[in-house]
Chain A
């Protein structure tokens, strides 16, 4: 499968614990995006990277959230001191973005987080 992959697919954690998710984009896609989706809603933008540079962060991304893409390939999203309101599907997408041209975003299967 050469699509976007995410790990784990499901995560159940207790409130206050830290969690980390991983996203592997499509090979050679230099843009990587994180979105969050709650039940019955569309995905909401969290942050995105071009190569290893984090270019934009949403106001939704509180200081408990941090994302990295250290070598410009896979990315990690960490949530510290999880709260029940963090329960959601965390989606990753990648895009082959040459400078100045718009391209499609392809989504991974998501990581479903449940905070108990």
Chain B
């Protein structure tokens, strides 16, 4: 079945450094890949997404890259700030289904 793997499970960085989270997916028909940020006790919040017809998308300090051949995509956060601390989830949406398959999450801690 469909599967999305995410790593690392935890990531600690100093304020101002960059953070990279990587995901791989198994369904080659997947064509939409969102990233969600979830703070403790709050709802998952969509922060950026990418569709299979592009290789990279940027939004201020956040960027996502997609390699369809290798079936992996990554989230890049530059100039990290303490308020970036949260759990980040990647997800994939397949071409044959309309449900999101989530990764297991990455807990990002940004130390001041």
Residue numbers of A with Cβ under 8 A of B are 4, 31, 33, 35, 40-45, 48, 55-56, 58, 91, 97, 102, 104-110
CA distance A40 to B100 in the complex (A): 17
Is A109 in contact with B42, judged by CB distance below 8 angstroms?
yes
CA distance A3 to B98 in the complex (A): 21
Partner of A107, one of B32, B43, B99: B43
B residues within 8 A CB of A44? 102
With contact pairs A102-B31, A104-B34 given, residues A43 and B46 touching in the complex (Cβ less than 8 Å)? no
User: Nearest-CB distance from B45 to chain A (Å)?
Assistant: 7
Is B44 in contact with A91, judged by CB distance below 8 angstroms?
yes
Residue numbers of B with Cβ under 8 A of A are 6, 31-32, 34, 36, 42-46, 49, 51, 89, 91, 93, 97-105
- With A40-B104, A42-B103, A102-B31 known, 15 other A-B pairs at CB within 8 A are A4-B43, A41-B104, A42-B6, A42-B102, A42-B104, A42-B105, A44-B102, A91-B43, A104-B49, A105-B46, A105-B100, A106-B46, A107-B43, A109-B42, A110-B43
Partner of A42, one of B42, B46, B91: B91
A residues within 8 A CB of B100? 33, 35, 43, 45, 105
CA distance A100 to B102 in the complex (A): 22
Partner of B43, one of A41, A45, A48, A109: A109
Is B44 in contact with A43, judged by CB distance below 8 angstroms?
yes
4 tightest Cβ-Cβ pairs between the two chains A and B: A42-B102, A45-B99, A107-B43, A102-B32
CA distance A58 to B85 in the complex (A): 32
CA distance A97 to B99 in the complex (A): 12
A residues within 8 A CB of B51? 102
Is B105 in contact with A41, judged by CB distance below 8 angstroms?
yes
User: Nearest-CB distance from B30 to chain A (Å)?
Assistant: 11
CA distance A93 to B31 in the complex (A): 19
User: Nearest-CB distance from B40 to chain A (Å)?
Assistant: 11
A residues within 8 A CB of B46? 104-107
User: Nearest-CB distance from B9 to chain A (Å)?
Assistant: 9
Is B93 in contact with A102, judged by CB distance below 8 angstroms?
yes
Is A107 in contact with B45, judged by CB distance below 8 angstroms?
yes
